[in-house]
Amino acid sequence: MSADINPAPSRRTPPSIATLILLSGLSALGMNVFLPSLPNMSAYFDADYRLMQLSVSLYLLMNAILQIMIGPIADKAGRRPVILWGIALFLVATLGCIFAPTAEIFLAFRMFQAVIAVAIVLSRAAVRDMYDQDKAASMIGYVTMGMAVVPMVGPAIGGALDELFGWQANFWLLLGLGVATLALTWHDFGETAMKSGKTLLQQFREYPELLTSPRFWGYSLSCGFSSGAFFAYLGGAPFVGSEVFGLTPAQLGLYFGAPAIGYFLGNFLSGRFSVRFGINRMVMWGCWLNAIGVAISIVFMASGLGSALSFFGFMTFVGVGNGMSIPNATSGALSVRPHLAGTASGLSGAIMLGGGAGLSALAGALLTPETGAMPLLWLMFVTGILGVASIMVVIRREVQLGLR
């Protein structure tokens, strides 16, 4: 094990990076594998597309709420038991989605599926338990680089499964992978943190220590706004692909993975260069790439050159930017108060996903066949610029405090 790893406070072996990658991947797959099926799901349940689109925004909202709770619970009880219970409950919710008789019941179980947030929250917290700040940013980059493979291939697989077997096949896939992940986690996720010994009420009382930190807010909001462009994309791109450009579910699945290609590259850059250049520079460069990629797409659309290829192709820049900004901003947020790493992971994730839920729903509400893709692109551009402004708060604060 690397010399950079902090001594494990448990007699159990800490999880391997491969296990953390797979945990993050399951969380990502649960978010987007079924997106190409949304039009067919609307027809199956005889429901309006906008109602079915809530399966994205409600999932993100519940994910955000749960992340607020997961961090303190894991700081009190330990990472291992919380993550095992979370995966088990995810399996129950997935069965509910498969057999739901109505759209409303499906949405209820879909919200319940958000408990898989434990996978991403606690895999990040485990990395921070084991590594110092800059090394943690690098390792989180590698962990989420593996996570990027899933959204790259997930929608393509989901679209193909939908055409071959129907939309339920996507959730059978999640069930099978969830069972395998539960078994792997049981065998290879040793405890990485000392139990705090505090009650849950005492844990929640420590939130003000984070919420009054300008640096925590700067990192969390830069992460939230940068990823907000992607969450808006999640909410609007299925409509743009199917209704504006007339793509089939299989075609949409292939195009939809474009940001993940960039995300993979951005996470590789984080893993390779975060220690060398520092997390603040990586976040800044990532936020700018995010905004620039969307700006180029806006120019193409405004000039009449827009197409499915240009719309989805330029989303690769959004992916690269997110791959650089998210792991570094996450590591920064977790390092503001290292003794509250689990709580910070949950709270920063809640800020990111709560904003993502709102942006996803807003993107779905703004789009019609007449508007085309422009409302979505402008929404993504504005969030990218706000991400730049947020990391500037951190940089300015560190200059004031005399930090590096």
What 3-state DSSP class applies to 338? Answer: helix
Q: Give the pLDDT score at 365.
A: 79
User: What mean pLDDT is predicted for residues 283-290?
Assistant: 92
DSSP H or E stretch at residue 68: helix 49-77
* CATH class name, domain 17-194+203-401: mainly alpha
pLDDT single digits (tens) 210-259: 777 888 888 889 888 888 888 888 778 888 888 888 888 778 877 887 88
**Which of the two residues, 194 and 97, has the higher pLDDT score?**
97
Q: How confident is the model at residue 9 (pLDDT cuts 50, 70, 90)?
A: very low
Q: Give CA separation, 327 vs 144, 226, 258, 340, 343, in Å.
A: 7, 11, 19, 18, 17
Reported as half-sphere exposure (CB side, CA atoms, 13 A), residue 89 has a value of: 18
Q: Give the pLDDT score at 97.
A: 93
Residue with tokens 């599926």: 113
Domain ranges of the chain: 17-194+203-401
Would you say residue 194 has pLDDT above 70? no
The span from the CA of 230 to the CA of 236, in Å, is 10
The dihedrals phi and psi of 291, each to the nearest 5 degrees, come to: -65, -40
User: What mean pLDDT is predicted for residues 340-345?
Assistant: 70
Would you say residue 180 has pLDDT above 60? yes
Cβ atoms 312, 255 nearer than 8 A: yes
Would you say residue 141 has pLDDT above 70? no
pLDDT single digits (tens) 112-135: 999 998 887 788 777 767 766 566
Cβ atoms 185, 83 nearer than 8 A: yes
Q: Give the pLDDT score at 1.
A: 37
Q: How confident is the model at residue 7 (pLDDT cuts 50, 70, 90)?
A: very low
The dihedrals phi and psi of 14, each to the nearest 5 degrees, come to: -60, 155
Minimal CA–CA distance to 110: which of 23, 171, 163, 159? 171
User: What mean pLDDT is predicted for residues 164-180?
Assistant: 91
Amino acid at 357: A
Reported as half-sphere exposure (CB side, CA atoms, 13 A), residue 111 has a value of: 13
pLDDT single digits (tens) 70-111: 877 877 777 888 889 999 999 999 999 999 999 999 999 999
Q: Give the pLDDT score at 62.
A: 87
The span from the CA of 214 to the CA of 204, in Å, is 19
- What's the pTM value of the predicted model, to 2 decimals? 0.68
Would you say residue 6 has pLDDT above 50? no
Q: Give the pLDDT score at 142.
A: 67
